Amino acid sequence: MHENLVEKHYGIAREMYAEVGVDTESVLRVLPSVPLSIHCWQGDDVGGFETIGEETLGGGLAATGNYPGKARTIDELRSDLVKCMSLLPGNHRLALHMSYGDFDGRKIDRDKMLPGHFDSWIDWGTHHSIKLDMNSTFFSHPNAAGGFTLSSKDKAIRNFWIEHGVRTREISAHIGSRQKSPCIHNLWIPDGMKDLPADRSGFRKLLCDSLDDIFRTDYPPEHMKDTLEGKLFGIGSEAYVVGSHEFYMLYAARRGKMVTLDSGHFHPTESVADKISTLLLFFDEIMVHISRGVRWDSDHVVILNDESMSILREIVRSGRIGNVHLGLDFFDASINRVGAWTVGSRAVLKAVLLALLEPHKSLIEAETGGDYFSRMQISELLKTMPFGAVWDYYCLTRDVPLERDVLSEIRNYDQTVTRKR
């Protein structure tokens, strides 16, 4: 019954979009080629599998809530990830943090981690056709307790984290070589101050030198790629963040790296979407972490809102969606964790679909001709178009639950799996 109704509604939607110059069949051939790098840390509240720093995030991070069923082991986390992936149309990636290695219950410090600690993840990813990305873990550790890592004025602290960064890149290259796909290594540090610093430039000079040490070894781009993620402020670093957006943007441009835009890392009234067209003029590739800040960088679950739609619209309009690596970065322990993954991931994919369904050529023609009313009215018309019918048809053809069925899927997994932990 559902299948016949979905196909009927899609047929109507296809005709309506055709009237405004959009071929939905072409759109649905493009959409499966857009992967998301889904973050592992939503599944266990950024806990990881170390014995160091357990129960305390620190570094400007906080997971709120205590919904039952949190993943406690690698096997539980992997089970939850497989469930989430089964609810998403398309083929997607997994973003790991270094603290999520397979340490077999041993205490392995951050400057001693080895490629072998991630071989079981590579094998798991190969089995499930999931490619892996990597993040350095510069928080939840005694050597991050002072608020500084790569920019610390304590040379021993700084060297510890430099070695961690070096090993992260080595592991990323190992992963990329094994999986036959570049592993994206994202670097973010929590360094900053709660109140006004006296030596802004001094900390940034140390960070620059530390990064140069980390990036001293070149790896083949088909194995790994580096990207740097800035931030405006964090908990405990309200007045000053060493690794600001401007710092990383300029460093990356000079050193041939990528930059990461995290949609929660800017001022609440600042447009992340507006930055994309500029960066793509000067960078071959960029990464975008899609999160949802509510009054601050609170890492709320992504929903289909103006922010997510505007970001994906600009990426699609650029004509270079293949040069933009899309990742997720949120964690909410107050709701079902697999549900949070699913809602956030599907919201981004819906935003991509909406952007692909835009008659971009018509909008540009109106704009070029100075007909701004037509540009406005076409944009308004799109808001009432039957996008949901196209989305449901896409889910149907990719053999994943329709939007109306997601809730029952999550509830059933909650009752049969996560609630029994």
Q: Is the pLDDT of residue 135 over 60?
A: yes
Mean pLDDT of the 95-116 span: 96
pLDDT score for 325? 98
115 in Cβ contact with 126 (< 8 Å):
no
Q: C-alpha distances in angstroms, 226 versus 30, 35, 63, 255? A: 26, 18, 27, 10
Place of tokens 């979905």: 6
Residue 30 lies in a domain: no
Identify the pLDDT of residue 57.
Answer: 63
**What confidence score (pLDDT) does residue 52 get?**
62
Q: In this structure, are residues 132 and 183 in contact, taking their beta carbons and an 8 Å threshold?
A: yes
The rounded mean pLDDT for the chain is 96
CA distances to 119, 121, 222, 345 from 179, rounded to whole Å, are 11, 11, 10, 23
What contacts 226, CB < 8 A, 6 or more positions away? 169, 185, 187, 215, 257, 258
The answer, yes or no, to whether residue 212 has pLDDT greater than 70, is: yes
Of the residues 174, 231, 275, 350, only one is catalytic, namely 231
Residue 97 among the catalytic residues:
no
| 329 in active site | yes
Instruction: State mean pLDDT over 133-145.
Output: 95
Given 330, 356, 382, which residue is the final one in a domain?
356
Spot the catalytic one: 229, 307, 332, 414.
229
28 located within any domain: no
pLDDT score, position 60? 66
Q: What total number of domains does the chain contain?
A: 2
Domain for residue 391, yes or no?
Answer: yes
Q: What pLDDT, on a 0 to 100 scale, did the predictor assign at position 370? A: 98
Alpha-carbon distance 374 to 209, whole Å? 52
Please give the pLDDT value at position 56: 57
**Is 297 a known active-site residue?**
yes
pLDDT(332) > 60: yes
Catalytic residue among 45, 50, 262, 307: 262
Identify whether 323 is part of a domain.
yes
**Cβ contact 301:343 at 8 Å:** yes
- Residues with Cβ within 8 Å of 12's Cβ and at least 6 positions away in sequence, in order, are 386, 389
Considering the domain architecture, whether residues 321 and 368 belong to the same structural domain is answered as: no
Domain membership flag for residue 31: no
Asked whether residue 222 is domain-assigned, the answer is yes
Collapsed DSSP state (helix, strand, coil) of residue 234:
strand
Determine whether 265 is an active site residue: yes
- pLDDT for position 59: 67
Q: How far is CA 71 from CA 41, 46, 48, 200, 258, in A?
A: 10, 10, 10, 40, 32
- HSE, CB side, 13 Å, CA atoms: give it for residue 192: 24
User: Which residues lie closer than 8 Å to 391 by C-beta, 6 or more apart?
Assistant: 350, 353, 403
Same domain, 178 and 289: yes
* Range with the poorest average pLDDT among 55-64, 172-181, 339-348: 55-64
Q: Please pick, among 223, 265, 275, 350, the residue that the annotation labels catalytic.
A: 265
Catalytic residue among 44, 45, 50, 297: 297
Q: What is the pLDDT of residue 235?
A: 87
Structural domain includes residue 32: no
- The verdict on 266 and 332 lying in the same domain is yes
Same domain flag for 204 and 337: yes
Q: How confident is the model at residue 186 (pLDDT cuts 50, 70, 90)?
A: very high
Q: Could you list the beta-strand ranges (E) of 263-404.
A: 286-290, 324-328
How large is the average pLDDT for residues 69-78? 96
Range of the domain at 365: 1-22+359-421
pLDDT at 1 over 90: no
Residues 300 and 395 both lie in one domain:
no
Last residue of a domain, one of 333, 356, 379: 356
Predicted confidence (pLDDT) per residue in 240-288, tens digit: 999 999 999 999 999 999 999 999 999 989 999 999 999 999 999 999 9
Our answer to whether residue 112 is catalytic in this structure is no
Catalytic residue, chosen from 188, 223, 245, 307, is: 188
CA-atom Rg of the chain in angstroms: 22
Nearest Cα neighbor of 206 from 220, 189, 224 is 189
- 419 and 325 in a common domain: no
Q: Is the same domain home to 17 and 128?
A: no
> 218-237, pLDDT tens digit by residue?
999 999 999 999 999 988 99
Residue range 294-321, pLDDT digits in tens: 988 889 999 999 999 999 999 999 999 9
Distance between CA atoms of 93 and 129, rounded to whole angstroms? Answer: 9
pLDDT for 18-31, tens place per residue? 999 999 999 999 99
Count the neighbouring beta carbons within 10 Å of the beta carbon of residue 62. 16
**pLDDT digits 0-9 by tens, 370-393:** 999 999 999 999 999 999 999 999
In angstroms, rounded to a whole number, what is the distance separating the alpha carbons of residues 23 and 18?
6
Instruction: Check if 284 is active-site.
Output: no
Is residue 183 pLDDT above 80, yes or no? yes
75 is catalytic: no
330: pLDDT strictly greater than 80:
yes
The one catalytic residue in 70, 117, 164, 289 is: 289
Whether residue 392 sits in one domain with residue 263: no
What percent of the chain clears pLDDT 70, i.e. is strictly above it? Answer: 98
Q: Tell me, yes or no, whether 253 and 153 share the same domain.
A: yes
- pLDDT bucket at 94, cuts 50 / 70 / 90: very high
Largest CA distance in the chain: 68
Which residues face 185 on adjacent strands?
134, 226
333: number of Cβ within 10 Å: 18
Question: Within a domain: residue 27?
Answer: no
Look at residue 54 and tell me whether its pLDDT is greater than 80: no
**Residue closest to 227 by CA, chosen among 203, 182, 257:** 257
Catalytic annotation on 299? yes
> What pLDDT does residue 333 have?
95
Whether residue 313 is found in the same domain as residue 400: no
Which of 356, 372, 407 terminates a domain? The answer is: 356
Q: What is the pLDDT of residue 64?
A: 85
Q: Are residues 263 and 302 in the same domain?
A: yes
Query: How high is the pLDDT of residue 156?
Result: 98
Q: Which pair of structure tokens corresponds to residue 70?
A: 């949190």
Global pTM reads 0.96
- Predicted confidence band of residue 62 (pLDDT cuts 50, 70, 90): confident
- Out of 329, 332, 392, 414, which one is annotated catalytic? 329
Q: Are residues 349 and 406 in the same domain?
A: no
- Assess whether 205 carries a catalytic annotation: no
CATH number at residue 230: 3.20.20.150
